[in-house]
Structure 1
Amino acid sequence: MTERAAPRWFVPGDLNGFFGLVVDNLSILGFIAAALVGIFGFPAEVVFTRMFPGTAFGVLVGNLIYTLMARRLALRTGRDDVTAMPLGLDAPTSIGMALLVLGPAFTRFQAEGMDTEAAALATWQLGMAALMVMGTLKLVLSFAGDLITRIVPRAALLGSIGGAALVLLGFLPLIETLRSPVVGLATFGLLLYVLVARGRLPVRIPGVLLAFLVGTALYYGLGIAGLGAPGFALPRAMPLGLTLPWPGLGFIDGLPLTVPYLSLLLPFGLLMVVGGINVSESARAAGDDYRTRDVLLAEAVSTLVAGLCGGVAQTTPYIGQPAYKHMGARMGYTLLTGLFIGIGGMLGFVSGLVQWLPLAVLAPIIAYVGLDITVQAFQSTRREHAIAVALAFLPSVAYLLVIKLGNPAWIEPARFAELYAHGEGSGLPELATIVVLGNGFIITAMLWASALVAMIEGRLRLAAGWLLAAAALCLFGVIHSVHPQGGIYLPWALQGLGRVIAWQFAAGYAVLAGMLALLSLQAAGPRERAPPGA
């Protein structure tokens, strides 16, 4: 009896998988840098020499674990076609961290009187602490992931992130895309051609890589010729150097700073657990039976390692494992990607690459990701629950308005406070209502969609339970925080307009919950759908 040959570490298809996975990670790192440095004026040195090494090290650790998991599965089954689970930085939450947590926090620290260096250090500590919070949550929930998916309807889970994807990952990057119209439209259109229309290319290279190359060439070519968008300038390259991501306890000082952002961070972690479960099922359907708990534990560990070493963006397994299998990739591509990103983050050449990727080229891929996540929210949900998915989008619109209206360059802080406190006509002030709806928007979206799904299914008491949970959470500011920055609080400590808003919202949820509970007492009978327009 002949012994089975050990599976090969590398096959030709691993090169295709390597390019695809590296481009995904570089694009997310590039957008984080572009958002923090370009939009919020964050010091580039802190981003490239403090945030990125630890972030990249988390990618290295996670991909090494997934590579070893693939090899163990291949040895156990005797198969040579096992494909490793791809791991990288999660696009929605990484971009959400930049646009919704780190950038606004940096601005707030400066407004409170900190100088730029101190504000940047506090923001970095906040980012590390945020990763430790999300990583700890993922570690705990990795043992109860299936329970979560049974309790929370899919429409609520996907609708809440779908709304954030469409409004924040779709609309905001689209604006950045169109600020350099020639470059942005060309890059975005080419991405749609290769990723959506599945169009053929005259060269055999990954379509996303081609779009990046074309967009970057256009940006620098037109800019140097004086034909680009206003404000073109060659980037000031940061000097390359060895920056080891040593573990530290800096995140401890950042833990108190995470409190106002828990309503974002906790759903971010929860969604990664659900996503990890879906990814495991996808890989299993493609023929690679990874244990779900192991997949979730690996992503939790890599996120915690990144946070401990100074990282600010969480890692996650990518949903495209079957796509990488179809490329011919096996286990070598994750090993190569982990080494390239991890070592490159330490040596500085990943930061060097990221600095030369224009925002007008990076933003289109983020906009595409937002569109793709939004479509998935509808396609992966039962048709009768589609309206719950759409309902879950609305709080994200409010948060988009908060981002724009809260920009001091648009509305002076004193004027913002005046509009927040005083309205015209009856009801709460309009700006206060928008801000309160936007605060905690992901959890709000999940609760709204969960309640509506329960109503659609005729489970009125369950719907009432979701609404009562919303009433309790809004009293403590987890959702509908009356603080413009979204902080949580004790309800009896509120004064003035804030107290009125919190109790009005809580009462609204409680009254609706009571009405549904009374309606549930009706005798069971045939359910009729109201005619259109009724």
Structure 2
Amino acid sequence: MSTQHQIRLRIQTGDLDGLLGLGLNNLIQVLLIISLCRGVLGFPDRLLFGTILPATGISLLLGNLIYAQQARRLGQEEQRGDCTALPYGVNTVSLFAFVFLVMLPAKLAALDAGLSEAEAVQRSWQVGLMACLGSGVIETLGAFVAQHLRRWLPRAALLSTLAGIALGYIALGFLLRTYAHPLVCLTSLSVILLGYLARVRWPLPTGLLALLLGMVLAWGSGLITPDAASWTQAARVVGVHLPSLQLSALWQSRFDLIPWLGVIVPMGLFNLIGSLQNLESAAAAGDAYPTRGSLLVDGCGTLTAAALGSCFPTTLYIGHPGFKALGARSAYSWMNGVVMAVGCLFGLFGVVTVLIPVEAGLAILLYIGLAMASQAFASTPERHGPAVVLGMLPGLAGWGALMLKAGIRAGGAAGDPQLFGPQLLTQLATADIWAAGVFALEQGQIITAMLLSAWLVYAIEGRFLAAACCSAMAALLAWFGVIHAWQFSPGDTVMHLGWGTGQAWAEGYAAITVIVLLARWRQQTHH
């Protein structure tokens, strides 16, 4: 066998391994989209399989094709055959943030306003489209200034905010579900943690083994017992679902951009900076791709998703060096795009959800949450640790508010429908649960986390003027109700925008600003 043939064979094997790893990751994201859209948002299969997933499939196909071509071009320019395409797929954190912080509140607000279930679902989807579009615009425009943004934003502020969402909405949320189904979920979780963190070499790739083991245990233990109705529902969505432009839906939701900027802008920045960091990781592994062009592809992938009807942004995945070590080159990328697009365009994932319960993939998602939280500490200076912890707290409070309100709704389903009112705060305070603070942290939680963490980073470094700017900005945003200000609705607590609606919190941040400036004055007088 010639050396050239051996190299070609090794590349093919590596691409298959890379396809397995990236495809499994994308599969979990799609199963998650189906689970959250059906279970949390109540989206009908017609919208989910007829519009959202086809748009998701096209966005994955286009991005993967371009990144595969980019790897081939780099290999030709540098006269080498070991260039690995950038891994790419649906952004996990944005998926959770948009579902729980944008689309679910929008649906509940619509129901409170008297809209029907179908109208509320339509509004929730349209608001999600606008959020995805906004994120795509930020990612696309940010490709031209990404390096400047990264120098301006403290790493602790970025990573701790992501970690708060990851710990609450991903890690804690799925940990509860794990302990609700311990045999299936704990078994697959042990395989994931031992394989990824303890470096145990399993006979199959770690993610695949955990998924297969979870499936076997789920079927064997009776966790899933699909009946004829489940198979009929899955078979009903199989068919050709071609996406179409959703410009009318985007236009109808044009006024929904401003109320959700507190989620859209930070998530767009996170996607942008995260993709930039992953490009740097690829360069360190030997594949130096052009920054602006690579980021533009990512941004355009998100814009394509929104234009065709998906609410979920795309991103560059972490782990390029790992795929390179597997021997994956360019083919794994385009093959992944084709596989995911076929599954989305032909409605095949409806059948997959019957065969593979989401519990079988929970371990991978839980690991992602743990990895993101630990990265916030590992990638920041040790003395910034308190700032990382502080930045995590608003996200955890937001998740706690979600759990609290869901429990109240469930408990009052057969009783008094007017559960959300001042009496709720009094009743919970007697149990030492300060719901007013939880609801305040819930509103604008992502911006709050960034500003608090950045404030403490600057204070630790003795940059008191920069810290004062952070607290002054928080005071301004709180005054207009962008963060913290909230009010009761018939079935929820919602943002309260307006002049002076967040006066109490604005006064608190203003006091912080004065104290920081006094600290700066003392620092200068003692030098």
Same fold (TM over 0.5): yes
Q: For residue 397 of structure 2, what is the amino acid of its counterpart?
A: A
In 1: Cα distance, 2:480 partner to 2:75 partner: 50
Q: Is 2:506 the counterpart of 1:509? A: no
In 1: Cα distance, 2:512 partner to 2:398 partner: 24
In 2: Cα distance, 1:360 partner to 1:61 partner: 30
Match of 1:237 among 234, 239, 245: 234
> Shift of the alpha carbon at 1:44?
3.3
Cα deviation per residue 1:261-307 (whole Å; 9 max; x = unaligned)?
Answer: 32112111110011011001000000001111112111000000011
> Shift of the alpha carbon at 1:422?
5.6
CA contact (8 A) 1:89 1:316 kept: yes
Match of 1:431 among 428, 435, 446: 435
Relative distance call for 1:373 and 1:233 in structure 2 (3 A) is farther
The residue number in structure 2 matching 1:489 is 497
Cα deviation per residue 1:440-492 (whole Å; 9 max; x = unaligned)?
Answer: 11111110011111111111111111100000111222221324554362215
CA contact (8 A) 2:301 2:314 kept: yes
Q: Is 2:192 the counterpart of 1:191? A: yes
The residue number in structure 2 matching 1:246 is 244
Q: For residue 487 of structure 1, what is the amino acid of its counterpart?
A: M
> Shift of the alpha carbon at 1:233?
6.0
3-state SS in 2 of match to 1:287:
coil
CA contact (8 A) 2:377 2:388 kept: yes
Q: For residue 298 of structure 1, what is the amino acid of its counterpart?
A: V
Cα deviation per residue 1:108-150 (whole Å; 9 max; x = unaligned)?
Answer: 3334333332222222222222111110111111111111111
% same residue: 33
Structure 2 matches for 1:31-430, cutoff 5 A? 31-201=32-202, 203=203, 205-223=204-222, 228=223, 235=230, 236-239=233-236, 240-249=238-247, 250-407=249-406, 408-410=409-411, 414-419=418-423, 430=434
> Shift of the alpha carbon at 1:257?
3.2
3-state SS in 2 of match to 1:510:
helix
CA contact (8 A) 2:214 2:361 kept: no
Q: For residue 27 of structure 1, what is the amino acid of its counterpart?
A: I
In 1: Cα distance, 2:17 partner to 2:302 partner: 26
Task: Point out the more displaced range, 102-111 or 167-176.
Answer: 102-111
3-state SS in 2 of match to 1:237:
helix
3-state SS in 1 of match to 2:311:
coil
3-state SS in 1 of match to 2:89:
strand
> Shift of the alpha carbon at 1:66?
0.7
3-state SS in 2 of match to 1:311:
coil
The residue number in structure 2 matching 1:480 is 484
CA contact (8 A) 1:277 1:292 kept: yes
In 2: Cα distance, 1:424 partner to 1:210 partner: 45
CA contact (8 A) 1:259 1:487 kept: no
Relative distance call for 1:415 and 1:337 in structure 2 (3 A) is same
CA contact (8 A) 1:216 1:357 kept: yes
Relative distance call for 1:355 and 1:258 in structure 2 (3 A) is farther
CA contact (8 A) 1:179 1:360 kept: no
In 1: Cα distance, 2:460 partner to 2:283 partner: 32
Aligned length: 507
Q: For residue 37 of structure 1, what is the amino acid of its counterpart?
A: R
In 2: Cα distance, 1:253 partner to 1:286 partner: 45
Q: For residue 300 of structure 2, what is the amino acid of its counterpart?
A: V
Cα deviation per residue 1:407-435 (whole Å; 9 max; x = unaligned)?
Answer: 21145662222346768999xx9322210
Q: For residue 312 of structure 2, what is the amino acid of its counterpart?
A: A
CA contact (8 A) 1:261 1:486 kept: no
In 2: Cα distance, 1:185 partner to 1:295 partner: 38
Q: Is 2:522 the counterpart of 1:518? A: no
Relative distance call for 1:414 and 1:67 in structure 2 (3 A) is same
In 2: Cα distance, 1:369 partner to 1:425 partner: 35
3-state SS in 1 of match to 2:521:
coil
> CA-atom RMSD, angstroms?
2.6
Match of 2:457 among 453, 456, 477: 453
In 2: Cα distance, 1:486 partner to 1:197 partner: 44
Relative distance call for 1:523 and 1:37 in structure 2 (3 A) is closer
Task: Please report the TM-score for the alignment, with normalisation by the length of structure 1.
Answer: 0.89
> Shift of the alpha carbon at 1:221?
2.1
CA contact (8 A) 1:423 1:430 kept: no
Relative distance call for 1:340 and 1:523 in structure 2 (3 A) is closer
The residue number in structure 1 matching 2:475 is 471
3-state SS in 2 of match to 1:480:
coil
The residue number in structure 2 matching 1:496 is none
Task: Please report the TM-score for the alignment, with normalisation by the length of structure 2.
Answer: 0.90
3-state SS in 2 of match to 1:316:
strand
- In structure 2, the gaps of 5 or more residues are none
Task: Point out the more displaced range, 383-392 or 404-413.
Answer: 404-413
Cα deviation per residue 1:57-82 (whole Å; 9 max; x = unaligned)?
Answer: 11111111111111111111111110
Task: Point out the more displaced range, 305-314 or 344-353.
Answer: 344-353
Task: Point out the more displaced range, 231-240 or 459-468.
Answer: 231-240
In 1: Cα distance, 2:428 partner to 2:25 partner: 48
Q: For residue 339 of structure 1, what is the amino acid of its counterpart?
A: V
Q: For residue 89 of structure 1, what is the amino acid of its counterpart?
A: V
CA contact (8 A) 1:440 1:486 kept: no
Relative distance call for 1:416 and 1:144 in structure 2 (3 A) is same
Q: For residue 458 of structure 2, what is the amino acid of its counterpart?
A: A
Q: For residue 512 of structure 2, what is the amino acid of its counterpart?
A: L
In 2: Cα distance, 1:523 partner to 1:378 partner: 28
Relative distance call for 1:78 and 1:125 in structure 2 (3 A) is same
> Shift of the alpha carbon at 1:258?
4.1
Q: For residue 65 of structure 1, what is the amino acid of its counterpart?
A: I
3-state SS in 1 of match to 2:495:
coil
Relative distance call for 1:49 and 1:133 in structure 2 (3 A) is same
CA contact (8 A) 1:260 1:486 kept: no
Q: Answer 1 or 2: which has greater helix percent.
A: 2
> Shift of the alpha carbon at 1:217?
1.6
3-state SS in 2 of match to 1:83:
coil
> Shift of the alpha carbon at 1:45?
3.4
CA contact (8 A) 1:86 1:320 kept: yes
In 1: Cα distance, 2:437 partner to 2:235 partner: 44
